[in-house]
Chains A and B, each alone.
Chain A
Amino acid sequence: MTAFKGLLIKEAKLMRIWFIWGILLSIAVAAAGYSISQYVNDMIVFEVLVFMILSAHAFYLPIYLLLSLNVEAKTQLWLHNPNSGYQLFFSKFLIGFVFMMVSIIIAFIIAIWATKSDIGIYFFAKDQLPMFILTGVSLSIIVYSFYLGIWTFFYWTLYHSLKLYGWNSGLRWGILICLWAVLFYIETLINELPIYQSLWELGAIDMTSLKTLNYELSKQSFSAELTANPFISLTEIALYLILLMAVVIFSIWMLEKKVEV
């Protein structure tokens, strides 16, 4: 058996209890929402909760990684291992991703069930919310979770690398927050650069024709802003991918060279 496979099995064994609790939590929240809705005779509670369960999956990978990494951080002895930092990290990321997919599919099935049955009247009014919109929303949640997960790993590794300088946790948190603010500011600046704008437009694709994001929900009071921007830009996607790769490479470099036991 290869080292990576061994790491995957270890990770799954280590985290399966959280995975099961996560799924039970989703189901319990949906069931509780359903009961309350039945009781007050208004499906709003159930529908909002199902929507929240689905959206909460944006934080699935970051939370998963923090839980898993913090098990290791008790001793950091997972670093006493001759295999590469990439293998150590990606075994965690991959298992987290698989667990997230299973969990979000269950939430997705609950949402679909709500739209296909007669019980939904707001978000999930019968046959009012097309499958492809729900799929699109779920996919963007997955992508966003992926994105947040990688940044979580970056900040976690940085936090532990800073121990090298003997700083206490308060100071290290301060540094992380400052760094986050600076990076956010730089991102805003770049977004406003004329050259970035023209690059953005260069790779832009008009999604309006698909009529996916123009969809308005039947009940005005709960219409979500899905129509914000009918364009996506390939340039933007490519740049974000490059950025994420750089973040991963840098984080693993810190893991290899700066995080001490």
Chain B
Amino acid sequence: MIEFAEVYKKYGKKKAIHSMSFALEKGKIYGLVGPNGSGKSTTLKLIAGLAYPSEGNVTVNGKKPDRKTAGTVAYLTELDTLYPSFTPKDLISFYDTQFSDFDQTRAYELLSFMSLEKDIKIKHLSKGSRGRLKLVVALARDAEYLLLDEPFSGLDPMVRESIVKGLLTFIDFEKQTLLIATHEIAEIEALLDEVLVLQNGELIAHEEVEALREEKGLSIIEWMKVIFQSSAKRNEI
């Protein structure tokens, strides 16, 4: 279980996260949505123990995250993080030594699923291939929590579809919890159990996706338009 209790995160005077509280249960797929700069990436880093809250408490399985949390959390960043001089094979061998839950066999399965070759240097790969490779090393781990930051950004629809299928194929939903931060909601709507909406560092809504359709007859995108409009009105007053 991941819990935020009244969490604030500031960088100097700049507020990145403001009074955030929520709980994420095991075995579900969560979407973290909101415009750029709304605090999605910071939220993921706070969970991964790669950033620390200025106030309030973040806990992962009851413990405050720090660097060691990397052992239970797999974090995929939106940045181009792969060492350019490495081949996918080098990268897989390296990950295998660093994470005890890394499954090399599964990594190679994922590699061929994503139609990537193992011996081409990363600097010669296209953006789409690098995006898929990041996912290969993240999904090859049996980590309890998977945090994906903008896994679709800048990728074409075919690649997006293969990523969604990859998630569904390789994630063990009995044991793994998935948190996807994205502003491209249409891609993942059908994939989500629950959605959390961020705006200016605040959590402005947290709903079950199917309940939105059942009770309000709205898809996430339609519903977000409604809540952003109402919060804009509030701000005008």
Q: Footprint of B on A, CB under 8 Å?
A: 1-3, 5-7, 9-10, 13-14, 17, 71, 74-77, 79-83, 85, 163-167, 256-257, 260-261
Inside 8 A of B83's CB, which chain A residues have their CB? Answer: 10, 13-14, 71
Q: Footprint of A on B, CB under 8 Å?
A: 10-14, 45, 48, 50-52, 66-71, 75, 77, 79-81, 83, 85-86, 90, 93-94, 96-100
B49 to A: closest C-beta gap in Å: 9
**Are B68 and A2 interface neighbours, CB within 8 A?**
no
Docked complex Cα distance between A75 and B97 (Å)? 20
**Are B12 and A80 interface neighbours, CB within 8 A?**
no
Residue of B10, B52, B71, B97 near A7 (CB, 8 A) is B97
New contact pairs (14) apart from A77-B79, A261-B50, CB-CB < 8 Å: A2-B97, A6-B94, A10-B83, A14-B83, A74-B79, A79-B67, A80-B48, A80-B75, A81-B67, A82-B70, A82-B99, A164-B11, A165-B12, A260-B50
Inside 8 A of A165's CB, which chain B residues have their CB? Answer: 11-12
A246 to B: closest C-beta gap in Å: 21
**Are A261 and B51 interface neighbours, CB within 8 A?**
yes
Docked complex Cα distance between A2 and B12 (Å)? 39
Question: How many CB-defined contacts (below 8 Å) exist between A and B?
Answer: 81
**Are A75 and B77 interface neighbours, CB within 8 A?**
yes
Docked complex Cα distance between A190 and B22 (Å)? 54
A sample of 11 inter-chain contacts (CB < 8 A) reads A2-B97, A3-B98, A5-B97, A9-B94, A10-B83, A14-B86, A74-B81, A75-B79, A79-B67, A85-B67, A261-B50
Known: A14-B85, A261-B50. A82 touches B66 (CB 8 A): no
Residue of A17, A166, A260 near B10 (CB, 8 A) is A166
Known: A75-B81, A79-B67, A257-B66. A1 touches B90 (CB 8 A): no
Inside 8 A of A81's CB, which chain B residues have their CB? Answer: 67, 70, 98-99
Inside 8 A of A163's CB, which chain B residues have their CB? Answer: 11
Known: A6-B93, A6-B96, A261-B45. A80 touches B50 (CB 8 A): yes
For residue A165, which residue of chain B has the nearest CB? Answer: B12
Known: A82-B68, A260-B52. A77 touches B81 (CB 8 A): yes
A96 to B: closest C-beta gap in Å: 17
Known: A14-B85, A166-B11. A80 touches B70 (CB 8 A): yes
**Are A82 and B67 interface neighbours, CB within 8 A?**
yes
